[in-house]
């Protein structure tokens, strides 16, 4: 089969089902020494304050390593039990919580969002400016659906950032302040419902507040506070004892610090506001961020997904639901997907990016067709590779995102034999 035809088939078919055009490798893929050298290099050569990684292959732990510091100023080493800020790696957890309700028949993915949340019944779409410079607002061509909020195609926007520059929406968002730490998820939804959409549902992919809306839906449909529902349905069955929004003060000594990369390549501490949120209970428990976790806790979540919804006798989701979540759901009519292509040959399922083709150049992050993954603002990362039976978790805590090739080097060290490049990026 020629290469273009193979890519076409991989794109058109379900990602999960096309993930294994050949038999899985007979030998283990992960070389733990090579992975460890790659992580050590991130500290020694790139100046990262700290980094750690954990890999399971074929049901067994094949690598754990930690280098540098969790808190440099206190000389706290990066350890296996370090509590890290996972930011947007909260999103897949929220998606799994929502899909447990889907399995119960509580909703259908193509149901209008307003069916369960009348807060979104009167949405308008920003359609530009008229001849006088006044904003044009119009009714959506169709109502946003629950499927839209699971794949970031509903139209919700903050008006700035992610390639957006819509002053009307930016000002409305700032005034509404929907994600204030003192707001409940219901208050957040009420405020978001008053802000115009930046595009008609289904026409673009725009990363934003959709997963916070998913958390609100979990709370609305289940009748339980979102944090309680996630703890009962996911964390407790999986034994994720240390994943939470708030840290018990007696465990604060295990928390990491976030560092910001400076122009000269050094790293300065930058996490006072984030730390304040995690050390005192707040009303706001978003679905899109704010969880803290450990390598082992998040690996239990990743292994559950690799096992198609089950871990050690505890089933969280049915296999078919995990496959649905890990299949590309972006419509062919999509006109823009902002920076998603920067992550490689990617589609998007339900709260996961989904690899639909092999890396086209050595500069792309390496990986396997059919893998699904997501990452976090402070450069954490996880992925699930069904072809090679691998789950991997990487913890780094630095900003801005991707200013050091932590993801690239970690992935390259695992998929070394598939690379056309001679070595991970130095």
Per-residue pLDDT tens over the stretch 292-324: 999 999 999 999 999 999 999 999 999 999 999
Asked if residue 403 and residue 318 are part of one domain, the reply reads yes
Alpha-carbon gap, residue 120 to 22, rounded angstroms: 46
Query: Which residue, 356, 392, 372, 303, is CA-closest to 30?
Result: 392
**For residue 424, is it within any domain?**
no
Which segments within 38-177 are labelled E, that is strand?
50-57, 60-71, 76-77, 84-85, 125-129, 135-138, 160-161, 164-165
What's the average model confidence in pLDDT over 250-266?
93
**For residue 113, is it within any domain?**
yes
pLDDT higher than threshold 60 for residue 368:
yes
Asked if residue 217 and residue 137 are part of one domain, the reply reads yes
Count helices and strands in the chain by DSSP H and E runs: 13, 19
Asked if residue 253 and residue 147 are part of one domain, the reply reads no
pLDDT higher than threshold 90 for residue 416:
no
pLDDT higher than threshold 60 for residue 425:
no
Q: Which of 1-5, 120-124, 388-392 has the lowest mean pLDDT?
A: 1-5
pLDDT in tens, 323-362: 999 999 999 888 889 889 889 899 999 999 999 999 998 8
Cβ neighbours for 199, distance < 8 A, ≥ 6 positions apart:
125, 126, 155, 157, 206
Query: What domain range is 328 assigned to?
Result: 3-19+26-86+246-284+291-418
pLDDT higher than threshold 60 for residue 161:
yes
pLDDT higher than threshold 80 for residue 422:
no
Is residue 163 very low, low, confident or very high in pLDDT (cuts 50, 70, 90)? Answer: confident
pLDDT at position 279 is 81
Alpha-carbon gap, residue 395 to 96, rounded angstroms: 21
Asked if residue 277 and residue 188 are part of one domain, the reply reads no
Q: Which of 49-58, 179-188, 215-224, 337-346 has the lowest mean pLDDT?
A: 337-346
pLDDT higher than threshold 50 for residue 127:
yes
Asked if residue 330 and residue 256 are part of one domain, the reply reads yes
Highest mean pLDDT among 20-34, 211-225, 321-335, 340-354: 211-225
pLDDT higher than threshold 70 for residue 380:
yes
pLDDT at position 5 is 40
**For residue 236, is it within any domain?**
no
Q: CATH no. for residue 369?
A: 3.40.710.10
Q: Which of 205-214, 269-278, 304-313, 409-418 has the lowest mean pLDDT?
A: 269-278
Asked if residue 174 and residue 114 are part of one domain, the reply reads yes
pLDDT at position 19 is 42
**For residue 230, is it within any domain?**
no
Alpha-carbon gap, residue 233 to 391, rounded angstroms: 21
Number of domains in the chain: 2
Is residue 18 very low, low, confident or very high in pLDDT (cuts 50, 70, 90)? Answer: very low
Asked if residue 114 and residue 74 are part of one domain, the reply reads no
**Are 200 and 140 contacting, i.e. CB atoms less than 8 angstroms apart?**
yes
Owner of token pair 């088939």? 9
pLDDT higher than threshold 70 for residue 4:
no
Q: Which helix (H) or strand (E) holds 395?
A: strand 390-396
What's the average model confidence in pLDDT over 419-423?
41
**For residue 215, is it within any domain?**
yes
Average pLDDT, the chain: 91
What's the average model confidence in pLDDT over 72-78?
96
Asked if residue 265 and residue 192 are part of one domain, the reply reads no
**For residue 238, is it within any domain?**
no
**For residue 398, is it within any domain?**
yes
Alpha-carbon gap, residue 166 to 197, rounded angstroms: 10
Asked if residue 321 and residue 406 are part of one domain, the reply reads yes
**For residue 118, is it within any domain?**
yes
Asked if residue 412 and residue 268 are part of one domain, the reply reads yes
Cβ neighbours for 425, distance < 8 A, ≥ 6 positions apart:
405, 408, 409, 412
**Are 205 and 338 contacting, i.e. CB atoms less than 8 angstroms apart?**
yes
Higher pLDDT, 293 or 275: 293
Alpha-carbon gap, residue 314 to 190, rounded angstroms: 36
Asked if residue 259 and residue 407 are part of one domain, the reply reads yes
């Amino acid at each position: 089969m020629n290469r273009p035809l193979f890519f076409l088939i991989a794109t058109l078919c379900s990602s999960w089902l096309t993930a294994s055009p050949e038999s899985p490798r007979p030998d283990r893929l992960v070389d733990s020494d090579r992975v460890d050298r790659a992580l050590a290099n991130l500290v020694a050569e790139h100046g990262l304050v700290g980094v750690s990684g954990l890999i399971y292959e074929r049901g067994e732990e094949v690598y754990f390593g930690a280098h540098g510091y969790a808190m440099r100023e206190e000389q706290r080493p990066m350890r296996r039990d370090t509590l890290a800020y996972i930011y947007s790696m909260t999103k897949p957890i929220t998606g799994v919580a929502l899909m447990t309700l889907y399995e119960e028949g509580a909703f259908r993915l193509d149901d209008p969002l307003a069916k369960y949340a009348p807060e979104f019944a009167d949405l308008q779409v920003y359609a530009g400016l008229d001849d006088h410079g006044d904003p044009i607002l119009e009714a959506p061509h169709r109502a946003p659906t629950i499927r839209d909020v699971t794949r970031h195609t509903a139209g919700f926007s903050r008006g700035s950032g992610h390639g957006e520059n819509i002053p009307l929406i930016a000002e409305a968002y700032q005034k509404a302040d929907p994600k204030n730490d003192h707001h409940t998820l219901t208050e957040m939804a009420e405020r978001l419902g008053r802000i115009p959409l930046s595009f008609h549902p289904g026409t673009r992919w725009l990363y934003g507040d959709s997963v916070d809306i998913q958390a609100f839906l979990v709370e609305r449909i289940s009748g339980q506070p979102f944090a309680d529902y996630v703890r009962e349905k996911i964390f407790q069955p999986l034994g994720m004892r240390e994943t939470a929004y708030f840290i018990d003060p007696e465990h604060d000594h295990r928390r990491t610090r976030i560092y910001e990369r400076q122009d000269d390549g050094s790293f300065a501490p930058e996490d006072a506001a984030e730390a304040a949120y995690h050390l005192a209970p707040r009303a706001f428990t978003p679905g899109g961020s704010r969880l803290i976790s450990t390598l082992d806790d998040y690996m239990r979540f990743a292994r559950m997904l690799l096992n198609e919804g089950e871990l050690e006798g505890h089933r969280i989701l049915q296999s078919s639901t995990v496959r649905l979540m890990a299949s590309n759901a972006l419509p062919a009519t999509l006109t823009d997907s902002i920076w998603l292509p920067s992550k490689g040959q990617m589609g998007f399922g339900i709260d996961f990016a989904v690899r639909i083709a092999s890396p086209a150049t050595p500069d792309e992050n390496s990986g396997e067709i059919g893998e699904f993954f997501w990452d976090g603002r402070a450069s954490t990362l996880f992925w699930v590779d069904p072809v090679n039976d691998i789950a991997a978790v990487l913890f780094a805590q630095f900003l801005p995102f991707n200013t050091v090739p932590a993801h690239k080097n970690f992935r390259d060290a695992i998929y070394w034999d598939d690379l056309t490049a001679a070595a991970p990026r130095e």
